[in-house]
Amino acid sequence: MKRIDTPLADCFVLEPRVFVDERGYFFESFNQTVFEALLGKKIAFVQDNESLSQQGTLRGLHMQQSETAQAKLVRVIQGEILDVAVDLRKNSKTFGQYFSIILSGVNKKQLFIPRGFAHGFITLSDTAIFNYKCDNYYNKASEVGIIYNDATLAIDWQYDLDKIIISEKDKRNITLKGFVNG
């Protein structure tokens, strides 16, 4: 497994070694010891989540705050998405900046998103199966969402936003300014 740093502190891409032959492929998608060595600290993932989304589905930008904040390790099993992480750690030098990457069942890359980041993705393929590990349990009371089209963030979703599929809940997410002032 190879670690590739992003411009956002503590957020990084993992690229596994994939073994391909006439039967198909094999790769180790997670190894606690290797992951902690790459992270530089201990982490205990306690919950795995999976979603199936059709093309144009935008989920996010979501995060949990305070003691129920979550670090996530995300990957795509089938299909292709644009994955976005936004640094919302108020004391971070990269506060309010985002990183995006194409994750797919073909490239097998994973993204580690530390606590204090908002996260979202849009499905670029016909469908996508998305899987992620969390180091804390979901807590609805501590959830906050940043609106996907926030002008300050200016995220390039690489998709026609007039054609997205988005939940009513995510349509009501707040702006970055609302988050800062809230």
Q: Could you tell me if residue 36 is inside a domain?
A: no
Q: Is 157 helix (H, G, I), strand (E, B) or coil?
A: coil
Look up 132 and say whether it is catalytic: yes
Region 94-121: mean pLDDT is 98
Q: Could you tell me if residue 3 is inside a domain?
A: no
- Percent of the chain scored above 70 by pLDDT? 100
Q: Is 132 helix (H, G, I), strand (E, B) or coil?
A: strand
* Amino acid letter for position 14: L
Q: Could you tell me if residue 21 is inside a domain?
A: no
| Active-site residue identified among 25, 98, 119, 132 | 132
**How far apart (Å, rounded) are the C-alpha atoms in residues 79 and 126?**
7
Look up 62 and say whether it is catalytic: yes
Strand partners of residue 102:
82
80-102 tens-digit pLDDT = 999 999 999 999 999 999 999 99
Domain CATH for 158: 2.60.120.10
Phi, psi of 152 (to 5 degrees): -65, -40
**How far apart (Å, rounded) are the C-alpha atoms in residues 63 and 55?**
23
At 124 the pLDDT is 98
| Active-site residue identified among 25, 62, 148, 159 | 62
Range of the domain at 126: 45-181
Strand partners of residue 47:
134
- Percent of the chain scored above 90 by pLDDT? 99
At 60 the pLDDT is 95
69-82 tens-digit pLDDT = 999 999 999 999 99
Q: Peptide bond preceding 61: is omega within 30 degrees of 0, i.e. cis?
A: yes
Whether the pLDDT of residue 30 is over 80: the answer is yes
Domain count, the chain: 1
Among 6, 8, 165, smallest CA distance to 97 is for 8
